């Protein structure tokens, strides 16, 4: 089996070899996406349900496109309040869906652990599309894949993740995946948005952005949820931008070839200046494009029965 | 599964001569290389395509466009095989629209692989025509598919397989009839 | 999982009993004594050596088994009134007896809250015919709202043995001071749930490495410790008795130790799960590991175990908190806090501490039998002639595996399901009633 698990719950504990398999498989699908007809019949007859218990546009569209380009049948289930508000438990909702004979479940939920819970009660393969502040593995995979494409390697790259680390599943998945790939990961953000004992995950923590960004190859900027300000986690948007925003002025002081990434959607002028988001250093749109290829690769690798893929 | 070589059908020289003949037949039938592209099917079909292209250049003093096609994603047994097949990159760096494609593979057997390849090629555009060049035709077709250029016909029985060796990926050049048990 | 529930059966004892050929734990010598016990009409009639053949009554042959005075758990939640689907006074008392507990203190955070005389009478009335002694705890404020002191004098006269803010920690210190001052008139303890709600701020597990890894909001150690300090200082200032419930952090143990050395009237309890499990258990996101206070780190567990050994921790209480399976199959952050504990407590203490020579039998008896009754000024059920028969018969070497299907509790949310334990409660005698497993 190319991947150790038939689910993709997170990147915690994933090996470098497994990540390489995913990236090499994504190369193949990236080629498919260049064709006039960007669709292959590989998953004909397989059914994928996209269970989105939390609003999401980008991730859902990206998954749906990936599924359709592999010719899978897709069903979308979106419920922002989760059906628990109707008195139904998650287990009931999901059991109902399973009774419809599903091969793969893509799940987004605001509660950490939901994908793991589903993997225990369902027969289908589960792909985590984001569970609370826990993990968002396909986002981290596409981030790393985009860097691999840009630099031709991942080992020893110096990556800085900037922003609200506490509430970020993107940060956590990237920390796990990137450290497995031998990337040197640093974090920077307000101390109120930095969870405890992060250093045990093998990352360096900064509170001064100007010091943190100096020698970095890549700056991965996280979205700051503006409602965190109302909860008193930082004093004002203005001060956040001054301290932790990737501004034009800050970019000018950096290496000419520094790479800027953002998982989207961007708060322009808050965590990232519009000029920076659109400049040549930004690979934000490549990230979106690679998202489909990575998700096709994950769907492909998890949909095979028992497999012995060597690439 | 154990393999036992029953006979050597072609040695290195035979293989080279057969490839030369296939190249000549392609030229003869198409009256030159106008509008011709060669696409080999991974793995060994792609190497054969490269060797055929080299022969064509020797004769015509002209480069011919070559591509490599992986049909794993189009296989009709994806849902039933219990080993996930190896996918390789498809590399067709040109438009196939209105081209005459010569599709190259090492062995023609049930015809299912060729069927998958035809489907895949159609997803790349609308070629003017597709011809099929095969090194060994071992019979037992399950689909109505026929090769335009055949290196050698080798009738096989149940339990026999054809193994093509090419130096690009194997130790030597040659074609073998093996029994599998 | 079946819907079948094991049926709990207990009966009145119409005839005298002779408990023969075992040994009982004698509180005076703090050791086992090999002797037979004769019980009639709920009273220990005689202790010595007796002939079973000529005995007019039932002979219980207990070779290889031991008799302890009944255990006491001063911290349980029996959900009645309000959530009888989770537990009733009856099912809760069955769980207690199944775990060897003959005395329990149900906490007042039911619906409605036990904050007046009538509610206290309701609880006492519900417990009257059960095999377990029920000692209710009253709410410190009306409706546990923290605005007005509840009618503690009335409740005291109706039978409460303590007051508590458990479940809805009182964060208004002025209110807490008035409650302690008022309660001190009755010389009963105020049982405090120590948690600063501003610091715990919506957390669902211990704040540390694992909460960071799992992306779950944390409950810091200091949210408990700061509240422990405040409550101890108020108790010290007002001279009242304070009992810190379910201590979970190393820091709290240190604070309580210092207070005890200063002579503050402070006592405290720890749960079996806080003595044995850590926040690492939550890696599976299993809501059966979700309780408040949360499971802490290895260092905390170590300090709690030491505190239990050296007397800083006065008693073991289970904080038995039943929830229905539907609620516990929620997503971890949405599931309610709390786990059951009555039926596993003895097995855990025996397997993990007594058998491993961490806890002596004498110390165990203090923790689970003597101290809770001392804290609450209740009669200690010594096994002596003419005392009430309040005892449990235990087979110490019996191995068993925790299986929720075998619980007497109406709920099954135990973090110990599948754990191998030793020591089984075989018989409970109390209030002239008997239960046989």
Whether A156 and A125 share a structural domain:
no
Contact flag A84-C326 (C-beta cutoff 8 Å): no
Segment (H or E) for C101: strand C101-106
Band of residue C163 on the pLDDT scale cut at 50, 70, 90: very high
Band of residue C52 on the pLDDT scale cut at 50, 70, 90: confident
Contact flag A84-C214 (C-beta cutoff 8 Å): no
pLDDT value at A308 more than 50: no
**Mean pLDDT of the residues in chain B:** 90
Band of residue A80 on the pLDDT scale cut at 50, 70, 90: low
Q: Is residue A126 part of a domain?
A: yes
Band of residue B80 on the pLDDT scale cut at 50, 70, 90: low
Whether A192 and A216 share a structural domain:
yes
Residue C406 CA to residue C412 CA, distance in Å, equals 9
In angstroms, what CA-CA distances link C374 with C69, C199, C367? 14, 33, 10
pLDDT score at A186: 97
- Spatial contact of A301 and A5, defined as CB atoms under 8 Å apart: no
pLDDT, tens digit, for every residue of A187-215? Answer: 999 999 999 999 999 999 999 999 999 99
Write the CB contacts of C343 (distance below 8 Å, at least 6 apart in sequence).
C95, C98, C99, C407, C408, C409, C414
Mean pLDDT of C160-189: 94
Enter the tokens of residue A100.
């419809």
Mean pLDDT of C110-115: 95
pLDDT value at A280 more than 70: yes
CA torsion angle for A178, A183, A186, A189 (degrees, to 10)? -40
Contact flag C334-A196 (C-beta cutoff 8 Å): no
Q: Which CATH superfamily is domain C71-375 in?
A: Metal-dependent hydrolases (3.20.20.140)
DSSP state, residue C61: E
pLDDT value at C262 more than 50: yes
Contact flag A28-B70 (C-beta cutoff 8 Å): yes
Task: Judge whether C382 is closer than 8 Å to chain A, CB to CB.
Answer: no
**Mean pLDDT of the residues in chain C:** 95
pTM listed for this prediction: 0.88
Contact flag A112-C215 (C-beta cutoff 8 Å): yes
Order of all β-strands in the sheet with A47-52: A73-78, A47-52, A104-109, A125-131
Q: Is residue A196 part of a domain?
A: yes
Residue B26 CA to residue B53 CA, distance in Å, equals 11
Residue B141 CA to residue B111 CA, distance in Å, equals 6
* A contacts of C216 (beta carbons < 8 Å): 112-113, 132-134
pLDDT, tens digit, for every residue of C66-90? Answer: 999 999 999 999 999 999 999 999 9
In chain C, the percentage of residues whose pLDDT exceeds 90 is 91
State CA B66 to chain mean position distance. 13
Helix then strand count (H, E) for chain A reads 12, 9
C285 vs A91, A112, A195: nearest CB? A112
Task: Judge whether C212 is closer than 8 Å to chain A, CB to CB.
Answer: yes
User: Looking only at Cα atoms, what is the longest distance across chain A?
Assistant: 57
pLDDT, tens digit, for every residue of B97-132? Answer: 999 999 999 999 999 999 999 999 998 889 999 999
- Spatial contact of C247 and C270, defined as CB atoms under 8 Å apart: yes
Residue C35 CA to residue B56 CA, distance in Å, equals 107
In chain A, the percentage of residues whose pLDDT exceeds 90 is 73
In chain C, the percentage of residues whose pLDDT exceeds 70 is 99
Contact flag C213-A84 (C-beta cutoff 8 Å): no
> Of A21, A26, A40, A149, which to mutate for an interface test with B (greatest number of B Cβ within 10 Å)?
A40
pLDDT score at A307: 39
Mean pLDDT of A270-275: 94
pLDDT value at A122 more than 50: yes
pLDDT, tens digit, for every residue of C323-362? Answer: 988 777 778 998 999 999 999 999 999 999 999 999 999 9
Q: What is the DSSP string of C189-211?
A: PEEE----HHHHTT--EESSHHH
Enter the tokens of residue B172.
């030597």
pLDDT score at A310: 34
C215 vs A90, A117, A134: nearest CB? A134
**Mean pLDDT of the residues in chain A:** 90
Band of residue B83 on the pLDDT scale cut at 50, 70, 90: low
Which range, of A34-48, A242-256, C203-217, averages the lowest pLDDT?
A: A34-48
pLDDT value at A87 more than 80: no
Q: Mark whether C36 is an active-site residue.
A: no
* Number of inter-chain CB pairs under 8 A, A vs B: 63
Residue A228 CA to residue C280 CA, distance in Å, equals 28
Residue C435 CA to residue C429 CA, distance in Å, equals 7
How far A7 CA sits from the closest chain B CA (Å)? 16
pLDDT value at A143 more than 80: yes
How far C320 CA sits from the closest chain A CA (Å)? 24
Band of residue C2 on the pLDDT scale cut at 50, 70, 90: low
Residue in the block written with tokens 């058998």: C355
CB atoms < 10 A from the CB of C128, how many? 10
pLDDT score at A261: 97
User: Domain range spanning residue A258?
Assistant: 137-283
User: Domain range spanning residue B112?
Assistant: 12-156
Instruction: Report how many domains make up chain A.
Output: 2
Instruction: Report how many domains make up chain B.
Output: 1
- Spatial contact of C425 and C98, defined as CB atoms under 8 Å apart: yes
pLDDT score at A153: 95
Enter the tokens of residue A48.
């994928």
- Domain containing B84 — which CATH number? 3.40.50.2020
How far A93 CA sits from the closest chain B CA (Å)? 28
B124 vs A36, A300, A309: nearest CB? A36
Whether A120 and A21 share a structural domain:
yes
Contact flag B91-A31 (C-beta cutoff 8 Å): yes
Band of residue B84 on the pLDDT scale cut at 50, 70, 90: low
Band of residue A294 on the pLDDT scale cut at 50, 70, 90: very high
Mean pLDDT of A90-110: 85
pLDDT value at A91 more than 80: no
Whether A169 and A255 share a structural domain:
yes
Whether A23 and A128 share a structural domain:
yes
Contact flag B123-A31 (C-beta cutoff 8 Å): no
Task: Judge whether A25 is closer than 8 Å to chain B, CB to CB.
Answer: yes
- Domain containing A122 — which CATH number? 3.40.50.1370
User: Looking only at Cα atoms, what is the longest distance across chain B?
Assistant: 47
pLDDT value at A306 more than 80: no
DSSP state, residue C352: I
How far A311 CA sits from the closest chain B CA (Å)? 7
Nearest residue to A129 (alpha-carbon basis) of A120, A121, A118: A118
Contact flag A201-C214 (C-beta cutoff 8 Å): no
Provide the chain A residues 288-307 that lie in CB contact (below 8 A) with chain B. Answer: 300-301, 304-307
* Number of inter-chain CB pairs under 8 A, A vs C: 61
The CATH number of domain C10-67+385-436 is 3.40.50.1240: no
Task: Judge whether B87 is closer than 8 Å to chain A, CB to CB.
Answer: yes
Closest-CA residue of chain B to A103: B79
Whether A150 and A274 share a structural domain:
yes
* A contacts of C209 (beta carbons < 8 Å): 196-197, 200
pLDDT value at B85 more than 80: no
How far C326 CA sits from the closest chain A CA (Å)? 7
* Start-to-end CA span in chain A (Å): 12
Band of residue A5 on the pLDDT scale cut at 50, 70, 90: confident
pLDDT score at C323: 94
Order of all β-strands in the sheet with C66-69: C10-12, C433-436, C420-430, C391-401, C66-69, C23-26, C31-34
- Spatial contact of C29 and C429, defined as CB atoms under 8 Å apart: no
* A contacts of B72 (beta carbons < 8 Å): 42
Enter the tokens of residue C158.
């109706």
Nearest residue to C270 (alpha-carbon basis) of C242, C300, C298: C300
Q: Is residue B170 part of a domain?
A: no
pLDDT, tens digit, for every residue of C223-240? Answer: 999 999 999 999 999 999
The ipTM, to two decimals, is: 0.91
Helix pair C117-127, C89-98: axis angle to 10 deg? 50
Mean pLDDT of A111-124: 90
The catalytic position among C36, C133, C279, C319 is C319
Contact flag A134-C326 (C-beta cutoff 8 Å): no
Q: What are the φ and ψ backbone dihedral angles of A165, each rounded to 5 degrees?
A: -75, -35
Write the CB contacts of A94 (distance below 8 Å, at least 6 apart in sequence).
A51, A105, A118, A121, A122
CB atoms < 10 A from the CB of A207, how many? 14
Q: Is residue B66 part of a domain?
A: yes
- Spatial contact of A156 and A178, defined as CB atoms under 8 Å apart: no
């Amino acid at each position: 089996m190319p991947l150790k698990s038939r689910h993709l719950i997170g990147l915690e504990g994933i090996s470098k070899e497994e990540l390489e398999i995913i990236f090499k498989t994504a190369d193949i699908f990236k080629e498919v996406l260049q064709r006039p007809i960007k669709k292959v019949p590989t998953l004909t007859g397989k059914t994928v349900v996209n269970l989105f218990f939390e609003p999401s546009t980008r991730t859902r569209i990206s998954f749906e496109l990936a599924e359709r380009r592999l010719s899978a049948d897709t069903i979308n289930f979106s419920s922002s309040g989760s059906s628990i508000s109707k008195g139904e438990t998650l287990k009931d909702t999901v059991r109902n869906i399973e009774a419809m004979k599903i091969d793969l479940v893509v799940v987004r939920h605001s509660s950490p652990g939901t994908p793991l819970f589903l993997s225990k009660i369902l027969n289908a393969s589960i792909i985590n599309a984001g569970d609370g502040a826990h993990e968002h593995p396909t986002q981290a995979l596409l981030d790393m894949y985009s860097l691999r494409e840009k630099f031709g390697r991942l080992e020893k790259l110096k990556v800085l993740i900037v922003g609200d680390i506490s509430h970020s599943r993107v940060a956590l998945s990237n920390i796990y995946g990137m450290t497995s790939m031998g990337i040197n990961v640093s974090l920077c953000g307000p101390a109120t948005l930095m969870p405890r004992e992060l250093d045990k995950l093998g990352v360096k923590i900064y509170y001064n952005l100007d010091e943190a960004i100096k020698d970095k190859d890549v700056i991965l900027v996280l979205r700051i949820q503006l409602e965190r300000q109302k909860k008193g986690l930082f004093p004002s948007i203005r001060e956040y931008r001054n301290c932790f925003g990737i501004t034009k002025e800050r970019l000018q002081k950096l290496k000419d070839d520094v790479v800027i990434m953002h998982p989207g959607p961007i708060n322009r002028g808050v965590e990232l200046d519009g000029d920076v988001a659109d400049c040549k250093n930004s690979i934000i749109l490549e990230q979106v494009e690679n998202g489909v290829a990575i998700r096709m690769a994950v769907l492909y690798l998890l949909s095979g029965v028992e497999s012995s893929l060597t690439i | 599964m154990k393999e036992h070589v029953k006979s050597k059908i072609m040695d290195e020289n035979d293989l080279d001569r057969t490839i030369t003949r296939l190249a000549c037949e392609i030229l003869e039938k198409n009256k030159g290389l106008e509008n011709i592209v060669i696409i080999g099917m991974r793995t060994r079909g792609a190497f054969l395509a490269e060797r055929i292209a080299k022969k064509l250049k020797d004769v015509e003093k002209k480069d011919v466009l070559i591509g490599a096609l992986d049909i794993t994603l189009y296989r009709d047994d994806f849902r039933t095989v219990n080993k996930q097949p190896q996918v390789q990159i498809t590399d067709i760096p040109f438009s196939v629209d209105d081209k005459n494609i010569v599709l190259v593979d090492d062995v023609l057997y049930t015809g299912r692989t060729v069927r998958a390849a035809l489907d895949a090629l159609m997803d790349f555009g609308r070629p003017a025509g597709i011809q099929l060049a095969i090194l060994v035709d071992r019979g037992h077709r399950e689909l109505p598919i026929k090769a335009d250029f055949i290196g050698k016909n080798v009738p096989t029985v149940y339990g026999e397989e054809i193994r093509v060796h090419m130096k690009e990926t194997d130790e030597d050049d040659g074609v073998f009839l093996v029994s599998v048990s | 999982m079946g819907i079948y529930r094991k049926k709990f059966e207990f009966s009145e004892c119409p005839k005298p009993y002779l408990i023969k050929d075992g040994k009982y734990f004698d509180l005076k010598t703090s050791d086992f004594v090999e002797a037979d016990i004769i019980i009639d009409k709920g009273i220990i009639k005689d202790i010595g050596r007796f002939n079973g053949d000529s005995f007019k009554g039932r002979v219980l042959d207990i070779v290889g088994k031991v008799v302890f005075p009944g255990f006491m758990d001063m911290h349980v939640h029996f959900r009645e009134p309000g959530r009888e689907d989770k537990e009733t006074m009856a099912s809760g008392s069955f769980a207690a007896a199944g775990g060897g507990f003959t005395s329990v203190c149900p906490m007042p955070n039911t619906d409605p809250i036990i904050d007046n005389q009538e509610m206290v009478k309701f609880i006492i009335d519900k417990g009257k015919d059960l095999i377990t002694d029920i000692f209710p705890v009253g709410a410190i404020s009306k409706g546990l709202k923290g605005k007005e002191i509840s009618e503690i004098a009335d409740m005291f006269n109706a039978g409460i043995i303590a007051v508590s803010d458990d479940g809805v920690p009182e964060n208004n210190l002025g209110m807490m001071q008035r409650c302690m001052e008022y309660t001190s008139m009755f010389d009963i303890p105020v049982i405090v749930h120590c948690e600063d709600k501003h610091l715990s701020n919506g957390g669902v597990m211990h704040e540390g490495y694992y909460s960071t890894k799992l992306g779950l909001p944390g409950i810091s150690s200091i949210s408990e410790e700061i509240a422990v300090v405040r409550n101890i200082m108020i108790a010290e200032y007002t001279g009242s008795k304070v009992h810190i419930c379910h201590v979970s952090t190393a820091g709290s143990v240190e604070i309580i130790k210092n207070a005890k050395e200063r002579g503050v009237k402070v006592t405290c309890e720890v749960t079996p799960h806080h003595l044995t499990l850590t926040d690492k258990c939550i890696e599976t996101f299993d809501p059966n590991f979700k309780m408040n206070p949360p499971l802490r780190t290895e260092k905390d567990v170590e300090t709690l175990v030491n505190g239990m050994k050296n007397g800083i921790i006065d008693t073991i209480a289970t904080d038995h908190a039943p929830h229905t399976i539907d609620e516990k199959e929620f997503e971890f952050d949405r599931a309610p806090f709390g786990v059951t504990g009555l039926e596993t407590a003895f097995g855990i203490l025996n397997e993990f501490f007594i058998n491993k020579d961490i806890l002596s039998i004498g110390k165990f008896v203090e923790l689970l039998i003597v101290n809770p009754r001392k804290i609450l000024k209740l009669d200690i059920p010594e096994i002596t002639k003419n005392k009430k028969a309040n005892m449990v018969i235990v087979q110490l070497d019996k191995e068993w595996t925790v299986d929720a299907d075998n619980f007497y509790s109406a709920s099954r949310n135990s973090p110990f399901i599948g754990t191998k334990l030793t020591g089984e409660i075989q018989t409970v005698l109390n209030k002239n009633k008997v239960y046989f497993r």
